[in-house]
Chain A
Amino acid sequence: MRVKVLADKCVGCDSCSIICSQNKHGAIRPKAAGIRVVKDPWAKMEKPIVCRHCKTAPCATACPRGAVYRTPENGTVVLDAGLCNGCGICVTTCPFGAIFMDEISGIPVKCDLCGGLNSPLCVEVCPAGALLMEAGKISP
């Protein structure tokens, strides 16, 4: 499963990254969320960016410490902050720019589908139907 983005429907409210950061950090820190909406109102752009849990995940391949890996239970690509040393290679390797460096902790953040839930919080909260759950894994 992965989150499918319909950018045309995105209203740019950031509710997805707000709720994600609330859930991950117990605090509101949208810049350290697993989903980010790249916006430029003058360029008419609202584009949610979130991990696609690629079939062949370059981030997992690149991680020198095995901190990014696919869970055997549901195939979600996750990042184990305990194993991570903050080198950031996953951030630069992701072809979609969907892993974000948390400037405060120095540890990257990515979508883990809220622990493999069928309906992650970002999908639940999106008021515009711009985020949907979709089956399948893709190659970058």
Chain B
Amino acid sequence: MYTGQGITALIDLSKGCVASTRTPDKVVEKFIGGRGINMYYLYKLLRPGVDPLSPENVLIFGTGLLTGTLAPSASRMNISAKSPETGILGDASIGGFFPAEMRLAGFDRLIIYGKAEVPSYLFISDETIQIRDAKDYWGLDVSATQKAIREDLGSDVQTVCIGRAGENLVKMACIMSGLKNAAGRCGLGAVMGSKNLKALVVRGNLGIPIHDSQEMIRLRLQLQEYLLKSKVVKILGAVGTPILYTNSNSLGAIRTHNSQLNTFSKNLSAPEIEKRVEKMLSCYGCPVHCRHRNIFGGEGPEYSTVGLLGANCGVSDTDHVIKLNNLVNELGLDSSSTGTIIPWAIELYQRGLIDQKTTGQPLRFGDYPLVESLIKDIAERRGFGNILAESTGAAKLFGDESRKYLIAVKGLPQSDPHDARYIKSFALGLAVASRGADHLRNRPTLDIMDLPEDLLKEIYGVQIDPDPTSYITKENMVYYHENIYALGDALGICRFITHGFNSPHLLKPEHFVDLIRAATGIESTSAGLLGVAKRIIDLERIINQREGLNKDDDTLPERYFVDKLPLKKAAGHHIDRTRFQELLDRYYRLRKWNSNGEPDLAVKMEIDQLGGVGEHAG
């Protein structure tokens, strides 16, 4: 046990019982925490081939090693399960205040399985967990649920919950906290819904013991001073992620009209969003304050939502896009998947691949009332919304040709509104990300920032071709970003202060070594921490391959290979299949995977030797 280590709780909703254990030191050593230890338990507990919406699926809420401590922006946890949206590993990170509160109550990790007989919620307080009746909250939207819980249990509780989308098993349902914090991806809200689990509510006052208190204070103040000088942190604190919209749009790489076009209205740029923002807010212990309180009673929007519910749906009115943002947050829907699936359906309708017999109404881009009504119908599984609620699974009904126009990888709609046909490292990142087409697994974009070649070499350890459209050397970028972000997820640290995330600065493994020592007393090295990160990515690969994925799944949306970007600087760019395949092969070699993209058997054996969960549970 290390200083501050909390309980790992096993919660069987079918039997209504809770058991407590501690994660063994050897597992902590190999996987650290957060996403890392979640993957270890998922590997051990998930029976391959299980239906993601069955009681057998395992839903894990795992805080990072530094979550809740004074480490800057250590507000986060990962929620992991088999994804009903993709059928492979599902994993999503969430900030806000719940993860830290869970640690304050003495819990590092909750492993939930089974299905409650009636709608239920978990009430978690100092080292105790109760399974309670949630009938009064079932049917409520995200804000109404939390307001009712605060009224019943006090204003000092923190909650994660599902909205109507999760209750209705919509495959792109989120787990939400506050007004907009979301474990957004992979349909984990539907997993909660399938378990009749409306919410987790926590109030913690046991606290988190810290190994070296004064050193932790010193490090926080020192690192915060460093971070607040960073250009990207200043921008995020002023206007948030919508700043990225202009970057993508001016390049001709914003996804719009289901990626048929690549440039859209300036109405969705950060200065326009900013006019509708009352205040910027932070998650727990975060100096960045990147979250907007908007004038329409919600929080957000982030760049992804602006791009996908705005540009991709063809909706250019700023007010409308912010209202759509607030709507998906209240219903508990992933804006990335929703903002990819609706435009896909519109294009299919325009191409005549689906008609009004299926859709019930004409579909067209730029129709705000249509998008608003489809979002509500998806959450309620009404009419055509019931089909779209299957996310990429709707392709089974729409027919094989529909897949040509689907912007998804491994069954997961692409999250980033950035069209990846221009930046080749970005494209590789989407193709290999372990949860499907998602930017938060790597987002390698430093080669588009015109950084000196020497600096790129210093960051990546090898010479990097500074041309973002080049395929050469780009495997090194994806490899580096994947590793450091897996490490951040294991620690509970936000991307926005992690080295390489849209910045050549921010916190590196050596900073994490110091923070880990001060917080827990655990000695580590940068190389050791990156070794853990690589192991996490190997294990995610092993889990996915156990579910039937192979190298053919490391690909991109068909459109990225076939159609050239039409406009602006990025015009003419697409992904060349041969060169992409060569890049992918180089990436496999860098990861020490074989030509089929499989990790070495020794990695699996090492993990298997850590023992079964049964022996940990005691």
Contact = CB atoms under 8 A, between A and B. Distances in A.
Contact of B179 (A15, A42, A125): A42
A125 B155 contact: no
Contacts of A31: 104, 156, 205
Contact of B221 (A32, A41, A103, A124): A124
Contacts of A32: 205, 207
A46 B207 contact: no
Contacts of B284: 13-14, 18
Given A12-B282, A41-B178, A44-B278, A28 B207 contact: yes
A25 interface: yes
Contacts of B282: 11-13, 15, 127-128
Contact of B104 (A11, A30, A103, A121): A30
A44 B207 CA distance: 27
A46 B285 contact: no
Contacts of A127: 224, 228, 237, 282, 286-289
A138 interface: no
Interface in B194-216: 205-210, 213, 216
Nearest to A40: B155
Nearest to B3: A27
Contacts of A125: 220-221, 224
B221 A22 contact: no
A109 interface: no
Nearest to A9: B279
Interface in A1-59: 8, 11-15, 18-19, 21-23, 25-32, 40-42, 44, 46
B280 interface: yes
A135 interface: no
Contacts of A40: 150, 155
B68 interface: yes
A41 to B, nearest CB: 5
Interface size, B (range): 35 or more
Contacts of A42: 143, 146-147, 179
B69 interface: yes
- Between A25, A41, A42, A121, the greatest number of chain B beta carbons within 10 A of the residue's beta carbon is seen for A41
B205 A103 contact: yes
Given A13-B282, A42-B179, A28 B69 contact: yes
Interface string B122-161: 0000000000000000000001001100100001100000
Contacts of B217: 19, 22-23, 121
Given A13-B286, A22-B70, A28 B104 contact: yes
A83 interface: no
A14 B205 contact: no
B287 A29 contact: no
Interface string B218-239: 0011001000100000000100
B207 A29 contact: yes
B58 to A, nearest CB: 29
B205 A29 contact: yes
B207 A21 contact: yes
Contact of A15 (B150, B208, B280, B287): B287
A117 interface: no
Contacts, number: 99
Contacts of B288: 127
- Between A8, A32, A103, A124, the greatest number of chain B beta carbons within 10 A of the residue's beta carbon is seen for A124
Contacts of B280: 11
Nearest to A103: B205
A14 B146 CA distance: 20
Contacts of B210: 22, 26-28
B299 interface: yes
B283 interface: yes
B226 to A, nearest CB: 13
Interface in B319-369: none
- Between A12, A25, A103, A128, the greatest number of chain B beta carbons within 10 A of the residue's beta carbon is seen for A12
B283 A13 contact: yes
Contacts of B143: 42
Interface in B261-319: 278-289, 293, 299
B384 to A, nearest CB: 32
Contacts of B287: 13, 15, 127
- Between B280, B281, B284, the greatest number of chain A beta carbons within 10 A of the residue's beta carbon is seen for B281
A136 to B, nearest CB: 26
Contacts of A104: 205-207
B213 A14 contact: no
Contacts of A15: 282, 285-287
A27 B207 contact: yes
Contacts of B221: 124-125
Contact of A27 (B100, B147, B208, B285): B208
Contacts of B70: 18-19, 22, 28
B98 to A, nearest CB: 13
B492 to A, nearest CB: 13
27 contacts: A11-B281, A11-B289, A12-B281, A13-B282, A13-B284, A22-B210, A25-B207, A26-B209, A26-B210, A27-B208, A28-B208, A28-B210, A29-B205, A31-B156, A40-B155, A41-B178, A41-B281, A41-B299, A42-B146, A46-B281, A104-B207, A124-B221, A125-B220, A127-B228, A127-B237, A127-B282, A128-B289
- Nearest first, the 9 closest Cβ-Cβ pairs linking A and B are A13-B282, A127-B287, A29-B207, A11-B289, A28-B208, A26-B213, A27-B207, A11-B282, A27-B209
Given A28-B103, A29-B205, 9 more contacts: A11-B281, A19-B70, A22-B217, A26-B210, A28-B68, A44-B293, A125-B220, A127-B286, A127-B288
